[in-house]
Structure 1
């Protein structure tokens, strides 16, 4: 069957069956901005706090996720992974260490690809994130670095403690928790 025949058949099926999924037209570029209305009433303005969010990783609600524009990788701390249900997903071995901004070497236990849900209905997006699992003490459970921020096409605002990103329906957002980041 030729490509044109397949398309013609699909059009005919969709004409007869109105519930047939239609190809979505690409949406025009969304404008992402931060206004005074984006400040949460709970935020103490003029702060220097980090953007720390809560997100769903797989079936787990994970708190204390640091959004770090300065990190080149996504990190999941081993203590957090140990408490998570990862289903069939397993830790993959890796032999490459990570280097901190001070040049110190950190051994990577392994990597794991996990789905992460950003936003709330209907302004949400699932992304598969490759986490580098490390076994060090941290008050955070994970760090989302530039790879995920870029894949999400997200824009962060530290003063608003908020991250915004395009979704299928409009702009989605994740709000930071100032009390947790302190």
Structure 2
């Protein structure tokens, strides 16, 4: 299962807030530094804990793939138009299905993020950029 329903929380989404993701010295114990491994996390999106979300330093957009789109029970009418194509990892042109704004949470803070929904394969359920 890609997404697990979490307990409801009484938090409101904040706009224009940048999350900080950092690691302590203890987090780096038994790791090889420097490294270029992908950072793959579990991220709360809406009311679900979503696995296999890649954090991409170079990404200018948040992207949602078909498995997550279906797993969250989203429908085409939930999307707003978004027609700017972009290149996938394999260099192919991708035409987005649309865009959707959803709350995400990595700690106590909840922020709304605009995900571009695409219909192409990825080993990840979503990609989030990092400012």
**Superposition deviation, residue 61 in structure 1:** 1.1
- Higher share in helix: 1
> Structure 1 residue 65: deviation in Å?
0.4
User: Cα offset for 1:44?
Assistant: 3.8
RMSD of aligned Cα (Å) = 2.7
Establish whether residue 62 from structure 1 lines up as the match of residue 50 from structure 2. Answer: yes
Answer 1 or 2: higher relative contact order, Cα 8 Å, separation at least 6.
Answer: 2
Q: Structure 1: 5+ residue runs without aligned partners?
A: 1-31, 151-182
TM-score, L = length of structure 1: 0.52
- The alignment of Structure 1 onto Structure 2 pairs a total of residues equal to 109
Q: Give the 4+ runs in structure 1 shifted more than 6 A.
A: none
90-99 or 54-63: bigger deviation? 90-99
Aligned to 1:45: 32
Alignment of 1:6-155 (within 5 A): 34-39=23-28, 44-46=31-33, 47-85=35-73, 90-100=78-88, 104-119=92-107, 124-145=108-129, 149-150=130-131
- The structure with more radius of gyration: 1
CA distance in 2, matches of 1:142, 1:33: 20
- Kept after mapping to 2: 8 A contact 1:64/1:142: yes
Q: Deviations over 1:128-182 (max 9, x none)?
A: 000000111111000001xxx33xxxxxxxxxxxxxxxxxxxxxxxxxxxxxxxx
